[in-house]
Structure formats: C-alpha cells, structure tokens
Amino acid sequence: MPDALVRVTPTNSLAGFSRQERYRELAEAIVVKPRYKDELAGKNIVLVDDVLTSGATASACTKALKAAGATSVSVLVAALVPGQSDGDLDFPVSGG
C-alpha cells in the first residue's frame, strides 16, 4: 500500500533540524487515508523507508498506522544516517 499514508499538514524541509525539531515538525502531520483503515486494522505492518536520519518520519508513520489499528509496525530502511552526539535514535543500532 504505497499510498496508505498521507501528509495532511504541510511541513518544512527537515534538513538542518535537530532531532527534537524534526519530531515536533512531524507531530500529527501524517495520517492513514480513511479508505485503508479497515485493511490495516489488526495487521502486522512493514514500513519501508529509504533513509533513516532521526527516526521522526518513521515514528510519525508508525503512530499513524497504530492509530489506524495496526497490531505492530516494523521499519525496514535502506540507509541509516550515522547518529549525532545528541542521541539521534530512540533505539540501539547494531551492525558491523
């Protein structure tokens, strides 16, 4: 469902924003389109993102999917921007 999520509030470009600013900018900005709510209810969802920087967009999308009734949301990313000194991510990242 590549079009299940929609940004309902215009947001600024997140480039140069701190982690907190990114989360604040995206709060309530992304929702599930109403026509998909019944299909998502009770489902385990895999959210695919190209690049994870702060996690703000993935978090906003996850919150929207859970609000629509998704049982769980797993995030699959192709690239991860290295964390900044202010603790860029909410979860540990392992790898080599």
2-53 residue pLDDT tens? 999 999 988 878 888 888 888 888 888 999 999 999 999 999 999 999 988 8
Does residue 90 lie in a domain region?
Answer: no
What is residue 84's predicted lDDT score, i.e. its pLDDT?
Answer: 56
Domain that holds residue 75: 5-80
Contact present, 43 and 7 (Cβ < 8 Å): no
The yes-or-no verdict on residue 66 having pLDDT over 90 is: yes
Residue 92 lies in a domain: no
Q: Where are the beta strands (DSSP E) in the chain?
A: 5-7, 30-32, 44-52, 72-80
Nearest-angstrom CA–CA distance, 4 and 73: 14
Considering the entire predicted model, what is its pTM?
Answer: 0.77
The secondary element (H helix, E strand) that includes residue 26 is: helix 19-26
Has residue 41 been placed in a domain? Answer: yes
Does residue 95 sit within a domain?
no
| Position with higher pLDDT, 90 vs 41 | 41
Q: Is residue 93 part of a domain?
A: no
What is the count of structural domains for the chain? Answer: 1
Q: Is residue 56 part of a domain?
A: yes
